[in-house]
Chain A
Amino acid sequence: MKPFAFARPGDVAEAVREVAAEPNAVFLAGGTNLVDHLRLGVARPELVVDVRTLTSREITDLDDGGLRLGAASTNSEVAADRRVWERYPVLAQALLAGATGQLRNMATTGGNPLQRTRCPYFQDVTTPCNKREPGTGCSAVGGYVRYHAILGTPGALPDPTAPETCIATHPSDMAVALAALDARVHTIGPAGVRTIPFVDLHRLPGDDPSRDTVLEHGELITAIDLPPLPEGTRSAYRKVRDRASYAFALVSVAAVVDDGDVRIALGGVAHKPWRASRAEEILRGGPLTEHAVRAAMDAELAAAQPQPGVESGNGFKIPLVARTVAATLRGLTEEQP
């Protein structure tokens, strides 16, 4: 654990300036992932800039009927907000399915989506990892891949020595719900403020697996907006994991359904929260029968690449995610009066 300077600036603008000025500076909010990485040696900053009390902690109604989550609001606070229960149950459920009470009391709206992969090779600084140390290769390919991606991967058998190879998944539950809700992310950075559609916040590994998101250095999330949903919209989050609690998702599903429209986001299957756009398109306007959903998911998963590895790889995720989507949508349509 390398020494670092610590700063707690007076406001957001100053925080952005401080981080922007130091190439090896990071923002600190709840700390639940960053402090973990400092100790592992995964994060080795020169400067840590504490923004926990700088951004808004409020959850406020928007004029369009949506909701704004201040970046400093904690995961517990958002999950305990009546407006979230009533309008966006998928988000409350995702938050409550994630981590533990203690962690949710610390983790923030701005920080949660920026947590990094739980790939064990990424977290172990003694093994090569393109995400942690670009160009060193990917130790996960052919290794322990139970929690790894099946979608958006470079190919059937990625080259573990190639600098672009990464089969990590994004571990956040909250992010999967936000992807399904078409949330918008407000940021402030050296180049000013901007708003990013949540589905575009995270990226696929592409040619640079070290970058999880499109955020620039020094760009800070200030709030996340939840757009209004049509009257009668139903939503749910379903997480499948190896323990009943306190475990990362093998797969998870966030589904938002209203008359004729369905939005599906998947967790545990890709480098980013995965919007099942193909399946959505096929299902749009039609009845959500078991048969239709299975067919739509078959189409969505046609390009899936199960990863071989120790303990027979992660091919099980293909049927598992299809079954979980079907069960989740069944639950939502059966709820209909």
Chain B
Amino acid sequence: MDADITLRVDGEARRLTVDTRTSLLDALRERLGNTSPKKGCDHGQCGACTILLDGQRALSCLALAVAHDGAEITTADGLARDGELHPVQRAFLERDAFQCGYCTPGQVCSAVGVIEEFAQGWPSHVTEDLTADPEMTHDEVAERMSGNLCRCAAYVNITPAVQDAAAQR
């Protein structure tokens, strides 16, 4: 069963027809040709499909496109504006925070979300005192980035890259 929807993707309104079964991820990749978000598991178990959905990091594989008609979506490609990389992307390059690159757009989107969540004072599983402003320690960043698997295992570079980018904010 088909439905017509509009998505705002990386700043541009896109009208499209989707099957009610189509995930946001497949809508982006197979209908709109935006392959920046990746399919690693299709079940919310790896984080490769992470996008910013209405400003928050979310898994596009577990979102039905039809349920997000009108949504504002930012992919890693859209984070780079006017040919300028986002500070998170620059930090990933500098720290070599990736190898094969397949989980990377999801890591980048997730990192942007994490930095914002810190700014909002959100605690994490490793925050000792929930009521204190969380500090961007290694353990805090690592916990918050744990929803993005990296099989090449660039974790020891990803965490400082996120810290570097946050410091530039």
Contact = CB atoms under 8 A, between A and B. Distances in A.
A binds B: yes
Interface of A: 1, 3-6, 8, 28, 31-32, 35-36, 38-40, 48, 50, 52, 76, 79-80, 82, 85-86, 89, 92-93, 96-97, 99-103, 105-106, 244-246
Contacts of A40: 43
A80 B121 contact: yes
A28 B64 contact: yes
23 contacts: A3-B21, A4-B20, A4-B21, A8-B67, A28-B64, A31-B64, A35-B61, A35-B62, A39-B42, A52-B67, A76-B117, A76-B122, A79-B123, A80-B120, A89-B130, A92-B123, A96-B127, A101-B57, A101-B114, A102-B58, A106-B58, A106-B59, A246-B147
Interface of B: 1, 3, 19-21, 23, 42-44, 47, 50, 53, 56-59, 61-64, 66-67, 110, 113-114, 117, 120-125, 127, 130-131, 143-144, 146-147
A103 B61 CA distance: 11
A60 B66 CA distance: 30
B64 A101 contact: no
Contacts of B47: 100, 102
B140 to A, nearest CB: 11
Nearest to A1: B21
Given A92-B130, A99-B147, A246-B146, A48 B120 contact: no
The 8 closest A-B pairs by CB, nearest first: A100-B147, A245-B146, A85-B130, A6-B20, A96-B125, A80-B122, A105-B56, A35-B62
Contacts of B44: 32, 36, 102-103
Contacts of A101: 57, 110, 113-114, 117, 144, 147
Contact of B67 (A32, A50, A96, A246): A50
B63 to A, nearest CB: 6
Given A3-B20, A4-B21, A86-B131, A102 B110 contact: yes
A244 B139 CA distance: 11
B125 A245 contact: yes
Given A6-B66, A36-B43, A101-B110, 4 more contacts: A82-B131, A102-B47, A103-B62, A245-B143
